Amino acid sequence: MDAAASDQRSWWKHAIGALITVLCVVVIARQVNLADVLAAIAHFQWPCLAAGIGMLAFGYSLRIVRWSMLLGAGGPAVTFGNCAAPFLGSIALNNVLPLRVGDLVRAFVFPVAMGVPKTTATSSLVMERLIDLMTLLCCLAIGLFAIRTATVPPMLSESAVTLALVGGVALTLGFLLSGMLARQLEARASGKLAAPLRAMAALLHGVQAMSRPRVLAATLLLSMLIWVGESGMFYFIMRGLGLDATPVMALLVMAIATLSTLVPSSPGYVGPFHLAAFTAIGLVGGTAAQAGSYAVLSHLALWLPTTLAGALAIVSRPELFRAARRAATTAMPTN
**What band does 1 get if pLDDT is binned at 50, 70 and 90?**
very low
Look at 86 and 9; give whichever has higher pLDDT.
86
pLDDT at 321: 79
Instruction: For residue range 250-264, list pLDDT tens digits in order.
Output: 999 999 999 998 887
Per-position DSSP letters for 105-143, written without gaps between them:
HHHHTHHHHHT--HHHHHHHHHHHHHHHHHHHHHHHHHH
Across the range 95-110, mean pLDDT stands at: 89
236 CB burial (10 A radius; 0-12, 13-18, 19+): buried
pLDDT at 204: 93
Across the range 127-145, mean pLDDT stands at: 91
**What band does 11 get if pLDDT is binned at 50, 70 and 90?**
low
**What band does 16 get if pLDDT is binned at 50, 70 and 90?**
confident
Instruction: For residue range 165-216, list pLDDT tens digits in order.
Output: 888 888 888 888 999 999 999 998 888 888 899 999 999 999 999 999 999 9
Tell me the chain's radius of gyration from C-alpha atoms: 21
Nearest to 128 by CA among 211, 199, 202: 211
pLDDT at 22: 86
pTM: predicted TM-score of the whole model, two decimal places: 0.89
Give the C-alpha distances (Å, rounded to integers) separating 171 from 178, 216, 219: 10, 12, 14
Cα 164 from Cα 239, distance rounded (Å): 29
Q: Are 92 and 310 spatial neighbours (Cβ–Cβ below 8 Å)? A: yes
SS3 245: coil
CA dihedral 300, 24, 145, 62 (to 10 degrees): -30
Helix 118-146 and helix 101-108, axial crossing angle in degrees, nearest 10: 140
pLDDT at 297: 95
pLDDT at 324: 59
Q: Is residue 149 predicted with pLDDT exceeding 60?
A: no
Return the top range by mean pLDDT from 76-80, 86-90, 109-113.
86-90
pLDDT at 168: 85
**What band does 328 get if pLDDT is binned at 50, 70 and 90?**
low
Across the range 144-150, mean pLDDT stands at: 70
pLDDT at 2: 53
Cα 30 from Cα 59, distance rounded (Å): 34
Q: Is residue 5 predicted with pLDDT exceeding 60?
A: no
The lowest-confidence range among 20-34, 219-233, 283-297 is 20-34
Cα 113 from Cα 127, distance rounded (Å): 21
- Round the average pLDDT of the chain to a whole number and report it: 87
Q: Is residue 335 predicted with pLDDT exceeding 50?
A: no
